[in-house]
Structure 1
Amino acid sequence: MTSSSTSSARFPRISTHGVPTRCWCGEGITTFGSSTAENRYRQFYRCEIARDRKTENHLFKWIDEALIEEIRMVDVKHERVAQEITMFEERVMEKVKSEMVRVEHEMSEKRKEKVDLEFARVSQEMKHKLKIATVAMVVVGAIVGIWTSLSA
């Protein structure tokens, strides 16, 4: 099987990969079936102008080879997209992990702050109760002192 995409010497050669949509000259393409013994009934793409201008080299490409090229191009694109998705997933997971660490740190700080506030509140409350108990003990001590001095 041979494949060729050719052009006239007057125009630069333009390589077509995969299924062509236009000839290098800008004209549309048509499909034909080969009538040669070597490639009987084998389908090919041909520039519409090439039917009338046999001396010019316009687009010619076997359909089966064009489809194989197209499949290979799609495979390459598919692989590239799969790699991009994998890289995207990795970046997202890194961001999620770093955000989780940040949130956990923030929660830990807030929890510590609340514990410290509660500790300070309980400490203040205990100091207040201790003052009351101390005053009560001083008053009771004074009463006991007065009582003993009066009883003796």
Structure 2
Amino acid sequence: MTNISGASSGSSTTRRGRVVGVPMVCWCGAEIVGKISKSDPNPYRRYFRCAFAVSNKLMDDNHVFKWVDEALLNEVDRLSSQAKRLEQMVRESEIVFDGAEYEKMVFDKVLMKVEEEVFRKVESVVSESQRYMKKLMIVGIVVCMIVVGLGNFI
């Protein structure tokens, strides 16, 4: 596994530009995997990394690297500004209905969709973390059982 020590600056600049939000695919076409830092400056901090760079143990390269917390904050900021733009578009629209009630109804629908999207993305990261922790627990239990088993033979 790679040992990323990186500064807390987070967002990487790749050949394709700055990664905004949760990265899905690296510029090289490889999928993005979630990892946990083992460095002293960022112990146990979760990050996204290009699977190719992880498998080849590359460091200080152009492949995607982004801290999970910063990626999620980018997503929330992006969706919040999108909601504000949509709210502004609704306010400026030429649709003539019962003004305030119609705008409130449309804004509430847009806000609900944005909140659902944020919730869905956060849930996916949380479920990935839970799966990873379950795997770690199973490995820990197996190691403990082996140690206890070897202790009985000694």
**TM norm structure 2:** 0.52
Calculate the aligned-residue CA RMSD, in Å. 2.0
CA contact (8 A) 1:30 1:46 kept: yes
User: Which of the residues 12, 20, 23 maps onto 2:23?
Assistant: 20
Residue identity opposite 1:92 in structure 2: I
**Matching of residues 55-70 of structure 1 within 5 Å:** 56-70=61-75
Q: Distance in 1 between matches of 2:89 and 2:11?
A: 34
- Cα offset for 1:2? 1.6
Structure 1 or 2, whichever has the larger Rg, is: 1
Q: Matched residue of 1:46: which SS?
A: strand
Per the alignment, do residues 92 and 60 of structure 1 end up closer, same or farther by CA in structure 2, a change over 3 Å counting?
same
Correspondence 1:29 to 2:43: no
Residue identity opposite 1:32 in structure 2: K
Higher helix share: 1
Q: Matched residue of 2:26: which SS?
A: coil
CA contact (8 A) 1:27 1:49 kept: yes
Q: Indicate the residue corresponding to 1:39 in structure 2.
A: 42
Q: Indicate the residue corresponding to 1:86 in structure 2.
A: 91
What is the total number of aligned residue pairs between the two structures?
A: 89
Q: Which stretches in structure 2 are left out of the alignment for 5+ residues? A: 1-7, 100-154
**Matching of residues 106-145 of structure 1 within 5 Å:** none
CA contact (8 A) 2:13 2:62 kept: yes
Deviation track 1:44-87 (CA, whole Å, cap 9, x = no partner) reads: 00000012332643110000001101100001100000011111
**TM norm structure 1:** 0.53
CA contact (8 A) 2:35 2:49 kept: yes
Q: Distance in 1 between matches of 2:19 and 2:11?
A: 9
Deviation track 1:15-62 (CA, whole Å, cap 9, x = no partner) reads: 210111001111100000111111111100000001233264311000
Q: Matched residue of 2:85: which SS?
A: helix
Q: Distance in 2 between matches of 1:85 and 1:13?
A: 33
Deviation track 1:107-134 (CA, whole Å, cap 9, x = no partner) reads: xxxxxxxxxxxxxxxxxxxxxxxxxxxx
Q: Matched residue of 1:81: which SS?
A: helix
Q: Taking every aligned residue pair, what percent have the same amino acid on both sides?
A: 35
Q: Distance in 1 between matches of 2:47 and 2:96?
A: 49
Q: Distance in 1 between matches of 2:39 and 2:68?
A: 16
Q: Which stretches in structure 1 are left out of the alignment for 5+ residues? A: 97-152
- Cα offset for 1:13? 4.0
